[in-house]
Each structure stands twice: as structure tokens, then as C-alpha cells.
A and B are shown apart, each in its own frame.
Chain A
Amino acid sequence: MRRQLFSAYRFAVSFIACLLFCLCVLVPGSGRAERPAGELLLGIEPEHNIFDQVQRYRFLAAYLSDQLGVKVRLTIMSRYGEVIKRFRSRKLDGAFLSAYTAALGIREIGLQPLASPVNLNGESTSQGYIFVRKDSGIKNGSTMRQRSIAFVDPATMEGYLYPLAYLHRQGVTDLDSFFSRQYFTGSHASTVFAVLDGRADVGSAKDTVYNKMVENDPSIGQELLVLGQSAKVPETTLCVRSELPVGLREKLGAVLLRMEKTSRGKRVLRQFEALRFIKTTKSDFYRIEEMVQESMVNKTVHLNEK
């Protein structure tokens, strides 16, 4: 119970931080159902360092506004899964989505994937890691019995769907009785820290976040052991609602794919910390569907939980 309170506290802190951004910094009035004509509202799923994230996306939004001739505004969701809700209430035109949310959106509300950024390491994809402390004695699923596990968020592939599929393959179907405790940390980095500190025995998180943390502090890599890796899927994808005018949708996609070919586009890409954008299609998310089947997760349940 105490842990749940701590977890709730963390979510509360994250929520308040995000809310302040949404209300005060980014787009005052973005919650209105009606928006001015000629405006494009794009959502962002929160990352660990929300302040750096907002800064990066602001450069991109300004560039898109100029290129498209419409004002592009940004809004940050309070939690990963809220994006779907916002699309359903028609308060979003598009969003930069992580793989699982994008797959849910494509399947449940017909979102159209347009493009994915390629990061500075040349990667446009990410994968889930399951990891433990090297000194934990945990080697596989069976040795996780009656230990604790930290997930990221129910709407993440790397931080929830993949570990469920991994555990299912290892014969674990009832998490409640198998683990002594399970909880959501709210971010990939927090999950890594939870396992490092011993606040959880097992964790799952996105490889790009994990690897960046190890790069910044090699001692992290020396202390943790990666037990499993998921298939690679697009890390972040700009998806738009299907009702968006075809002309605007195509122009948006074309502007993103052309960015690397112009000097200003290159400059904005550097500020956005990407090399280029590449085209993304629905087929890029088939692996997510397979994981859903494997983990026996009922996606509708997750959508309703948000």
C-alpha cells in the first residue's frame, strides 16, 4: 500500500509538471474543442526530461508552421495513453507517438502514420529491455518468482507490453501471484533507477533511454544485466487523424521527409536532435500486434483505463 502511495506521488508530481506546461507554457487554450482555422495541434508524449523535450519540439513546430503556412501548436499529454482520448474528442490533429500508442491509435481510431525521426545514432527504432541487477541472482523468468517488478506505463511497448510477452513466453501468466509487487514508475529512466537502487528487482524500459544512461554513466552498465530484448519498432512516429484533409496530410509528410535536403531543415533537425525523418507505414507496427497476441493483453481494457 505504501508503495502504491509512493507511486501515486510520483504520478502526481509528473502530472502537475505536465499540466503546468500544457496550461501555462505551451498552448493556452489547447483544451478547447474548437480551434482557430489554419491551426494544427500536435500532441507529444512526455519523456523523462520534459523540459528538454519541449525545447526540441518547439524548433520543429516553428519550422513546420513556416513550411505549411498554418500555425503548428504543441501540447503535452499528462500520460502516455491520454493521446488516444484526445484524438477521440477531436482535440488533436496529430501526435508524435511511441510505438504502442501508435499501434493502438492505428487500430482503434484509424490514425495514419506519416514519418519517424532518425536519431543522432542513425536509429529510427527502439526496443524493450528487461533487466535486473547483476548481483540479484535473477537469470530468467523462473528466478523472478516472488521478486518485484517495475514497469513504465501500461501504454508503452518497451515498458509494459514487451515484458508481459516475455513473461508469458517464460510461463508466467498470473503476475499478481508470481511477483511480490508490481508497479508503474511513469518513465523509462525512473524504471532504470528503481532497479539500480533495489527499489525493484526487475525492470523493463526502452533501449534508447537505457543506452543513453549507460553512455552518460558507465557504472550503470556494469551493475545491470539485460535478460531480454524485444523486436525493434519505430521509436516515435508522427500520426495524424484520418479526417485531416488529404492535402495537408501529404504536405506535412513531404515537408518532414524533405527536411534533410534544405539548410534550414538541417539546422532544425540538429536542434531536434535527429538526422532526418523517414516514411512510416502501418506495416511497421505489425510486431506490436504480434506482441499483443503473445501477451494476451486486451487493448480495449488499456484504452478504457486512460
Chain B
Amino acid sequence: MVLVFWLPSAIQAQTRIGVIMTGNVEYYRTMHEAFVAELDKRMPDADQIEIILQRPFPDSIAWSNAARKLIAVDVDLIVAYGAPVTHAVLDEKSKIPVVYAGVYDPENAALSGRNVTGSGFKVPLSSLLRYFKRLKKIDSLCVVFSSLEEDTVRQSNQLVALAGQQGINVTEVDIRRRSDVAQLEDIKDDAVFITGSVFAHLWINDIVSILQKKGDLSGDIFPDSSAAGVLLTLYSPPKAQGRKAAAMAARILHGEQPKDIEAEIFRETELVFNLVEAKRMGIKVPVQLIVEATRVIK
């Protein structure tokens, strides 16, 4: 577990914000940087705010321990990135206000409570499936998720239902530890969808490396920040969610109750197409698919 003190003048801090970000995933790091920058703008006494950042390894016990430590320190506010961490914090039933961010489809994540508000995102998973089909005939799809992360289970279930409607066979690969990645070597599917799993993104380079060797199409709902070589990414920009979390945090620190702050869902997405990867795989890319992309990696 890593404990980091952020912002100057922490010794004289009057307000303490506890932040939990599981794993070392770029998506949440970017979100948190935007949170800190925005909070700095919104709070005139930002130098009096201490941010305690905890980055537990993705594990349900570690998530709970991180939440308990922040509650024990009696922080004024807890910010949680991602659904599993948010659930772990809410399970502690503390009276400390909670702001969540980066939660997939929060309306269906059961994150209710008087002390909680936040923002999440929704990415139309059907769109990625649609783009796969524009690249090649898809008879079978592999979904990479983690049964330890409730939101990725929901994503997987959605894809299974979608694929079923279209006569596409689905294989699910559950990543709970690094060795689980090797399951992908034996999977024979036309395309692989990577859910917003922290586990999967901890070892995204290993995953993509296997897919590249097999020539499978790959799609992800997190940006390919490490340039692992994911072919298609359709994601909700993380900075906007970080800024929204800061805006909500500022309102709570100014005295508003979380129950009075409406939760928000970000639906805007960015579509990134990796042309380099497509060429390496020998895929003939329709011009129109490139035109649809908000960014093309050349």
C-alpha cells in the first residue's frame, strides 16, 4: 500500500481528502490529476487541503483496508475511483461523504446512499462490436473481464447478450491474477473485447502481446495509454470525470450535502483507431472507419 501526501502545507492542513485508486492504471491516474488541478482552482485555500492518496493492489481485502484507514484517519471526504473501490468504501457504512468517479454505468451499480454522489460513464459496448464487424466477419468473441470487479461482470454480461442477439459465440476469460492471462493463448476467437478491468489493464501489455501473436482484433473501453497496441478503443475521457469529481468535492467541502448533489453520467466518448496495428495485422481498413475515428494512430 502506498501513502502519498499531496499539495504543500500539509502539516497545517485543516481539511483532509482521502482518495483511493486501485492498481496503477493510467486511466485513473489521469482522472486523479484532473481532480487535483480542478480542486486547486475551485478552493481558494487549496494549500490548506491535504490529499491522502491510497493505491491498494486490486484485491477486495486491500480495498476494504484502504477504506478503513481513511475512515480511521477521519478524513473529511473520500474520493473513490472505479466501482469496486466505491463499493468497498460504501460497505464500511461510514458517515464520511463519498464522491465516486470513473464508475461504469453507475445507474446500475447500486451506489446509493445519503452520503454518496459522483460521476460515472457509459460507453456503448455495441459500438465496438459494430466496428469489429466492419473490419472482419465476427463469428466468435472473447471477453476479458474480472469476476472480482462487479462493473466488468456487468460489461461482460451485456456483451454476451448483444453477441447472442447477433449469433456470435462468446468466450469469457476471467482475470484474477497474472497467470490467468495465459488463458488467452488457447482461445480461438475472431476478436477480443477488454472490459474496464483494473486487473486486465495491469497486464495489458501481456494481453495484447498474446493477441498480436494470434492476429486477433482487440478492442478496449479504456484508452491505450501505454501504447500496448490495442486496435480499437472507445472510451469516456477521464479528465472530465476528474474535474467533475473535484467540482462535487468542492461543493461538499463548502457545506452542501452529497444527497443534494445530483450524480452525473458522462456519455461522450472518443474513438481511437490504431492504423499502425491494423497494417501490421494486414487488415484492410475501410476509409469510412478511419473517418469515424476521433483520433487515428499512424
> A17–B270 Cα gap in the complex (Å)?
23
Let me know if A136 and B126 touch, CB within 8 A. Answer: no
Counting from the closest, the 6 A-B pairs by CB-CB distance are A198-B269, A198-B267, A197-B127, A6-B294, A13-B291, A193-B292
- The distance from the CB of B214 to the nearest CB of chain A, in whole angstroms, is 27
Let me know if B271 and A190 touch, CB within 8 A. Answer: no
Q: Hey, which chain B residues are within 8 Å of A148, CB to CB? A: 268
Check: A135 CB closer than 8 A to any chain B CB.
yes
Convert A20-59 into 0s and 1s, putting 1 for each residue whose CB lies closer than 8 angstroms to a CB of B: 0000000000000000000000000000110000000000
| Minimal Cβ-Cβ distance residue in B for A17 | B287
Report if A201-B267 is in contact (Cβ < 8 Å); known contacts: A196-B126, A219-B166, A223-B124. yes
Let me know if B122 and A196 touch, CB within 8 A. Answer: no
Let me know if B287 and A136 touch, CB within 8 A. Answer: no
Contact of B130 among A14, A17, A196 (CB under 8 A): A196
Convert B71-100 into 0s and 1s, putting 1 for each residue whose CB lies closer than 8 angstroms to a CB of A: 000000000000000000000000000000
Report if A133-B267 is in contact (Cβ < 8 Å); known contacts: A13-B287, A190-B291, A197-B234. yes
Let me know if B122 and A135 touch, CB within 8 A. Answer: yes
Q: Hey, which chain A residues are within 8 Å of B133, CB to CB? A: 217
- The distance from the CB of A181 to the nearest CB of chain B, in whole angstroms, is 9
**B222-242 CB contacts (< 8 Å) to partner A:** 234, 236
Let me know if B268 and A198 touch, CB within 8 A. Answer: yes
Check: A274 CB closer than 8 A to any chain B CB.
no
Let me know if A219 and B267 touch, CB within 8 A. Answer: no
> A6–B292 Cα gap in the complex (Å)?
9
Size of B's binding interface in residues, CB under 8 A: 25
A-B contact pairs, 13 of them (CB 8 A): A6-B295, A13-B291, A133-B124, A135-B122, A148-B268, A189-B288, A196-B127, A197-B124, A198-B236, A217-B130, A219-B126, A219-B162, A223-B126
Convert B276-298 into 0s and 1s, putting 1 for each residue whose CB lies closer than 8 angstroms to a CB of A: 00000000000110111011000
Check: A10 CB closer than 8 A to any chain B CB.
yes
> A48–B236 Cα gap in the complex (Å)?
26
Q: Hey, which chain B residues are within 8 Å of A186, CB to CB? A: 291
Residue from B122, B162, B291 having most chain A Cβ neighbours under 10 A: B291
Let me know if A13 and B269 touch, CB within 8 A. Answer: no
Check: A199 CB closer than 8 A to any chain B CB.
yes
| Minimal Cβ-Cβ distance residue in A for B123 | A198
Q: Hey, which chain A residues are within 8 Å of B179, CB to CB? A: none
Let me know if B290 and A13 touch, CB within 8 A. Answer: yes
| Minimal Cβ-Cβ distance residue in A for B105 | A135
Check: B12 CB closer than 8 A to any chain A CB.
no
| Minimal Cβ-Cβ distance residue in A for B162 | A219
Convert A259-292 into 0s and 1s, putting 1 for each residue whose CB lies closer than 8 angstroms to a CB of B: 0000000000000000000000000000000000
Q: Hey, which chain A residues are within 8 Å of B126, CB to CB? A: 196, 219, 223
Report if A199-B122 is in contact (Cβ < 8 Å); known contacts: A13-B287, A219-B130. no
- The distance from the CB of B63 to the nearest CB of chain A, in whole angstroms, is 29
Convert A172-196 into 0s and 1s, putting 1 for each residue whose CB lies closer than 8 angstroms to a CB of B: 0000000000000011011001101
> A267–B294 Cα gap in the complex (Å)?
41
Q: Hey, which chain B residues are within 8 Å of A198, CB to CB? A: 122-124, 127, 236, 267-269
| Minimal Cβ-Cβ distance residue in A for B265 | A137
Residue from B162, B236, B267 having most chain A Cβ neighbours under 10 A: B267
Q: Hey, which chain B residues are within 8 Å of A189, CB to CB? A: 288
- The distance from the CB of B249 to the nearest CB of chain A, in whole angstroms, is 21
- The distance from the CB of B247 to the nearest CB of chain A, in whole angstroms, is 14
Q: Hey, which chain A residues are within 8 Å of B124, CB to CB? A: 133, 196-198, 223
> A3–B127 Cα gap in the complex (Å)?
19
Let me know if B294 and A199 touch, CB within 8 A. Answer: yes
Convert B165-178 into 0s and 1s, putting 1 for each residue whose CB lies closer than 8 angstroms to a CB of A: 11000000000000
Contact of A199 among B130, B166, B271, B291 (CB under 8 A): B271
- The distance from the CB of B25 to the nearest CB of chain A, in whole angstroms, is 21
Contact of B292 among A3, A135, A190 (CB under 8 A): A190
Q: Hey, which chain B residues are within 8 Å of A199, CB to CB? A: 268-271, 294
> A10–B123 Cα gap in the complex (Å)?
22
- The distance from the CB of B138 to the nearest CB of chain A, in whole angstroms, is 12
| Minimal Cβ-Cβ distance residue in B for A186 | B291
**A98-142 CB contacts (< 8 Å) to partner B:** 133, 135-136
> A133–B123 Cα gap in the complex (Å)?
12
Q: Hey, which chain B residues are within 8 Å of A13, CB to CB? A: 287, 290-291
Let me know if A136 and B267 touch, CB within 8 A. Answer: yes
Let me know if A197 and B288 touch, CB within 8 A. Answer: no
- The distance from the CB of A46 to the nearest CB of chain B, in whole angstroms, is 12
Q: Hey, which chain A residues are within 8 Å of B236, CB to CB? A: 198
Q: Hey, which chain A residues are within 8 Å of B162, CB to CB? A: 219
> A144–B288 Cα gap in the complex (Å)?
28
> A277–B295 Cα gap in the complex (Å)?
42
> A176–B165 Cα gap in the complex (Å)?
40
Contact of B288 among A48, A196, A217 (CB under 8 A): A48
- The distance from the CB of B292 to the nearest CB of chain A, in whole angstroms, is 5
